[in-house]
Structures are given as structure tokens and as C-alpha cells.
Amino acid sequence: MSIVNDRAPPEFGPMGTSPAGASSSDLSSRAQIINRIERDAGVPQLADILSDRLAPTDLQSLLLEVSARRAKRRDPKALLDDHVSNRFTQPSVSNPRCLLEWDRVAFSKLPKDFRLVELSPVCPLGAASVLSPISQDWIVSTIRNTEVVADSTNVLALECAVRRREQKTFSTGSAAPVHLAASHRVLRGQKMSLGPSVRQHFRLFSLCSAGRDPGNLRFEIETVRLHVGFFLTGLKKFLGSKIPLRVTVSDFGSNVPRSMVESGVVDKLQSSHKGVKIGFDQDRKQGRGYYAELCFKISVTSLEGKEQELVDGGDVDWTQRLLNNAKERLVISGCGSERLCELSGSGSSR
């Protein structure tokens, strides 16, 4: 879930659609800034000392003290100025009623096996960059060894791993699949300049399904079909059945789509959603190296005739790594709620 790319603005799905790191020019500029700070402070290798030699709790104590001293020097006018100018603090322009209505529709259409989760605003430091090829620069890290949630699918994956491991039958390989869903406002650190309605933070409706590999891509095929089917049902209910939807499936595990993917995903979805165009996109570039075998996109054509992407998802290896078990499988997906509300015609609160 690249941030600026030929697919879509970044406010609609997981960070697999984002570039994997800072540019060489950014890294060079930052190195020059760090060198200047160390030189002016008279402390060589200051960054190394803070990152490698201090215990996390000691670094936290130091930064808490720094923040407290800086906050003491602030005045109300500075707060007001910051609220207006800081790209992280400006409120969303989306209509809260529309966002709540989408949540209501989506929650009502969730398959029975899914459990809802109300996530914390923060998660463990590295939750995005350790699990996926995403630069930590795009994450808003805190001084308490946590980070603000930038992609709720990463955090749901952690929770899936916990719930899988807690099952008594996990060690025998017969633990039940875990399906989780969340509607959560995420915050991303990379600068976005995509228009007045785009904010650094946005609401993401996400799904995460974890299970064990029974062979022949069966878990991935069945779960991708489950996720796509849910979103199609929810989107048609929310937007109306006359709004044109299109699903593209990419089989990254083969140059040409495998027959089991065609019959298990595309054909079965098409038989259940006859008014939706469903097909393959084997030329897809975004998401390679992020998704493993299968991924998909759901797009909608607006009344003006412009196609926009709403949903992105696929299978990833995160629970394999979290649980140190190559048989674990995970499918994630996400829908940008703000974009959806814009398309519904009631997206703005202003």
C-alpha cells in the first residue's frame, strides 16, 4: 500500500501502492543536515549515539524532556498559526456523516467470519517499514517508541498473528483462520500536493485475513474472492447499483494467469456480480515486491466518465515472518473512505 504514481493519489488503499524509500537526493540532503547538526553541537556521531547506544527508554526520556522544554516556550498565537499551517494538523474536509454512513453500510455487509477491531492511534515502531518495503520517512514516528498508524492493514496483520498464535491448535497447524476489519484514520508522513481536498490523514476501511496454506493457492484464491466480493457488495449498496465498477486481478506468480486463479477468482466473482467488469491485468507494475502471488484493484467510473481506483489488495508474507512459519498466509485490502464519499456527491463538510 508509490505515493506519487500513475495509478492514483495515495489516499485510497494500503501502502503497497507507494514507493519503497527516500530518493538518493533526499538521503544526501539529510546526511548533510545531520553532519551540520553534529558539527554545530560539537558531538561527533551524535545520530549514532542516539540511535545505537541509548536504550529505547533512555532515548524516550531525553526526547520527552526536549519536547516539554519546547512546549513551555510556546504561546497561544503560535498554536493557532500551527493549526492553520501544519499539514499534519489540519482537519479533514470530508463530510463526517458520509464517512459514518459508509462505515454503517460496510459493517452491515461484512461476511460473518469477520471481527471488527477499533485500533489504537499508534502502533509499534517499525510496524510499516519492518513488514513492508516502505521507508520510515513516510511514517510519523513518536518519541515513545511508537508510530502513528500509517496503514491499518499492517496493524491488523499484527493482531491476526496474535490471535492465530493464541489458538491452542496453532502448533498443530489446525488453527482457525482469523478475519479482521477496521475503519481507521491513518496518517502518512510523505508530503502530498495533490489538491485542496487531500490531507496527510484519511480514513481507510481495511480487511485482513490470516490462515494456513492448504496448497495450490487455495487460501489466497478463496480469500481474495471473499475480499473482492465484500467490497463489491458494499460499494453497490453505498453508491447505487448503476455506478459502473471494474475489478482487475493480477497473477504475479505467473506470466499468464493460471487457470485456477481464473476459475477460482475471476469466473466465480463474475457469476455473482454480473454487472461488474472483472478481468486480468498482467501488466500491473505497482505492488510487485509488496504483494506475493495475487493482487486486485476495484475502480469506479464517476458520472463525469472518469475512472478512479477505490480498493487495492492482495496477499503478503507478513504473518510468515511474524510467526516464523512459511505455511502462514495473509490477504489484505483497503478502501479510501474519503474518495468514496467524494464520488457519492456528499464528500465535503465545507
Domain region containing 195: 95-114+156-344
Spatial CA neighbour of 187 closest among 252, 248, 142: 142
Same domain, residue pair 56 and 110: no
Same domain, residue pair 77 and 100: no
- The answer to whether residue 115 scores a pLDDT higher than 60 is yes
123 vs 199 pLDDT, higher one: 123
Residue 344: band (very low, low, confident or very high) from pLDDT cuts 50, 70, 90 = confident
| 149 occurs within a structural domain | no
Q: What is the pLDDT of residue 324?
A: 96
Please give the Cα distance from 115 to 193 (Å, whole number).
Answer: 35
Q: Which of 32-36, 191-195, 225-229 comes out lowest in average pLDDT?
A: 191-195
| 143 occurs within a structural domain | no
Q: What is the pLDDT of residues 117-165, one digit of tens each?
A: 999 999 999 999 999 988 899 999 999 999 999 999 999 999 999 999 9
Same domain, residue pair 190 and 269: yes
Same domain, residue pair 171 and 67: no
| 59 occurs within a structural domain | yes
Q: What is the pLDDT of residues 97-111, one digit of tens each?
A: 999 999 999 999 999
Q: What is the pLDDT of residue 290?
A: 95
Q: What is the pLDDT of residue 148?
A: 97
Same domain, residue pair 51 and 191: no
> Average pLDDT, stretch 33-60?
93
Q: Give me the number of domains the chain comprises.
A: 2
Residue 61: band (very low, low, confident or very high) from pLDDT cuts 50, 70, 90 = very high
- The answer to whether residue 260 scores a pLDDT higher than 80 is yes
> Average pLDDT, stretch 18-33?
69
Residue 10: band (very low, low, confident or very high) from pLDDT cuts 50, 70, 90 = very low
CB-based burial label for 20 (10 Å; 0-12, 13-18, 19+): middle
Q: What is the pLDDT of residue 30?
A: 85
> What are the φ and ψ backbone dihedral angles of 318, each rounded to 5 degrees?
-65, -45
Residue 243 to residues 61, 301, 307: CA-CA distances in angstroms?
A: 54, 7, 11
Same domain, residue pair 160 and 179: yes
Same domain, residue pair 45 and 178: no
For residue 209, the domain's CATH number is 3.30.930.10
| 182 occurs within a structural domain | yes
Q: What is the pLDDT of residue 350?
A: 59
Residue 254: band (very low, low, confident or very high) from pLDDT cuts 50, 70, 90 = very high
Q: What is the pLDDT of residue 173?
A: 87
Q: What is the pLDDT of residue 11?
A: 41
| 130 occurs within a structural domain | no
Distance of CA 48 to the CA centre of its chain: 30
Q: What is the pLDDT of residue 198?
A: 65
Please give the Cα distance from 243 to 232 (Å, whole number).
Answer: 11
> Average pLDDT, stretch 60-66?
95
- Mean pLDDT of all residues in the chain? 90
Same domain, residue pair 79 and 161: no
Residue with cell string 464517476 = 302
Q: What is the pLDDT of residue 199?
A: 76
Same domain, residue pair 67 and 203: no
3 vs 331 pLDDT, higher one: 331
- The answer to whether residue 2 scores a pLDDT higher than 70 is no
Spatial CA neighbour of 338 closest among 88, 96, 69: 96
| 20 occurs within a structural domain | no
Q: What is the pLDDT of residue 103?
A: 98
| 151 occurs within a structural domain | no
- The answer to whether residue 230 scores a pLDDT higher than 50 is yes
Q: What is the pLDDT of residues 274-316, one digit of tens each?
A: 989 999 999 999 999 999 999 999 999 887 788 899 999 999 9
- The highest-confidence range among 52-56, 165-169, 240-244, 311-315, by mean pLDDT, is 311-315
| 12 occurs within a structural domain | no
Q: What is the pLDDT of residue 196?
A: 54
Specify whether the CB–CB gap between 239 and 300 falls below 8 A: yes
Same domain, residue pair 43 and 173: no
CB-based burial label for 93 (10 Å; 0-12, 13-18, 19+): middle
Residue 270: band (very low, low, confident or very high) from pLDDT cuts 50, 70, 90 = very high
195 vs 140 pLDDT, higher one: 140
- The answer to whether residue 25 scores a pLDDT higher than 80 is no
Same domain, residue pair 58 and 206: no
Q: Which of 85, 104, 123 is the last residue of a domain?
A: 85
